[in-house]
Amino acid sequence: MLNQNKPAAEASPKGGGLEGAVSVLSPATVANVVCGFDILGFALNNPNDELTIQLSDEPGVHIINQDGFDLPTIAEKNVSGAALLAMLDETPDVKGFTLYSKKHIMPGSGIGSSAASAAGSVVAANYLLGNRFSKEDLVRFAMFGEKVASGVKHADNIAPCIYGGVTLIRSIHPLDIVSIDAPPLHVTVVHPQIEVRTSDARQILKQQVLLKDAIKQWGNIAGLVTGLLKGDYDLIGRSLEDVIIEPVRSILIPGFDEVKRNCKEAGALGGGISGSGPSIFMLSKDANTANAVEAVMKEVYERIGIDYHTHVTTINMEGVKRTTINTILED
């Protein structure tokens, strides 16, 4: 477990193309990890959002979007804005921030687009403030952004985005985040070009769970965490089973059952819905298998006639990362 009192990062020299600005790359994430609804997640090495932030003499948070997604620029309605406003509430010596945002993680994709915005913003701001806040503090601020996105303060995307690697949210109240060691894993993601809103995907979930299903789910969560810690690929694969959430949510994703079945036949350890969907992720032991899994995903969606994007990547062990090239302000 990481030291929650430790600063989020060591102070480093100013970087970027504009005096006093800080730029970061903020990663996509996979939440739930099949059986770990709202408590497990991991960060991806690709794709990443680009965020640049400056201190402002004007009060509040000023947002400049530099992409084509037309996201809100009113701070209270923007996930980054809400997170930064929460930070400002605890920094009376700071008037405001100006944020430049260039998103490469498509909103509504199910790979942590809102988390990348919220988490990346507060990490970048923390650099500007001399790293006065801990990683746990930054998660707490960024969760205000997730509430804007889905109506719920959840941390299963936020935590891995900030901490890197695989994280377990043992508790929200009080916040208790545990970093989990994992063996080398390759991740293949397909994003069918349909929309599944996080708020809608939550509303269809059952409010009561049979005890026998809960017991099976607890066994899978414990098995998955144990498999990751021991580097036991077979145990990881056996534990990637969800008997509570996936059976309900998968009906929102055309081709899901076929993709999952065919990917496992191609050698994937297993996988499932990334977050609330519509993206589907699969874990593999090696790059060759991950590429074969990508081919299977492409074949399914080409055959059923749904546009898609794919990513073949690995687990990002660092999380939000400062970059010395201010790509946003140079564009």
pLDDT, average across residues 114-136: 97
Amino acid symbol at 95: K
22-180+316-330 under CATH 3.30.230.10, yes or no: yes
Domain map (residue ranges) of the chain = 22-180+316-330, 186-314
Instruction: Tally Cβ neighbours within 10 Å of residue 89.
Output: 10
Residue 331 — pLDDT band, cuts 50, 70, 90? very low
Q: What is the pLDDT of residues 252-307, one digit of tens each?
A: 999 999 999 999 999 999 999 999 899 999 999 999 999 999 999 999 999 999 99
210-221: per-residue pLDDT in tens?
Answer: 999 999 999 999
Q: Which residues pair with 192 in a beta bridge?
A: 308
| Annotated catalytic residue, options 29, 198, 313, 323 | 198
Predicted local distance difference test score (pLDDT) of residue 93: 95
- The H or E element that residue 49 is part of is strand 40-56
| Whole-prediction pTM | 0.90
Instruction: Give the separation between CA 80 and CA 107, rounded to whole angstroms.
Output: 13
Longest distance between any two alpha carbons in the chain, whole Å: 59
Please list, residue by residue across 11-40, b when 16 or more beta carbons sit within 10 angstroms of its beta carbon and e when fewer do: eeeeebeeeebbbbbbbbbbbbbbbbbbbb
Q: Give the separation between CA 221 and CA 201, rounded to whole angstroms.
A: 21
**How much is the average pLDDT of 176-186?**
97
**Contact present, 303 and 177 (Cβ < 8 Å):** no
Query: Is 314 among the catalytic positions?
Result: no
Concerning whether 76 is annotated as a catalytic residue, the answer is: no
> pLDDT confidence of 116, banded at 50, 70, 90?
very high
Helix (H) or strand (E) holding 127: helix 113-128
Q: Find, among 124, 130, 189, 119, the residue nearest to 158 by Cα.
A: 119
Pick the CATH number of 186-314 from 3.30.70.890, 3.30.1330.10, 3.40.50.360, 3.40.50.300: 3.30.70.890
Q: Active site residue: 29, 50, 136, 146, which one?
A: 146
Peptide linkage before 47 cis (omega within 30 of 0): yes
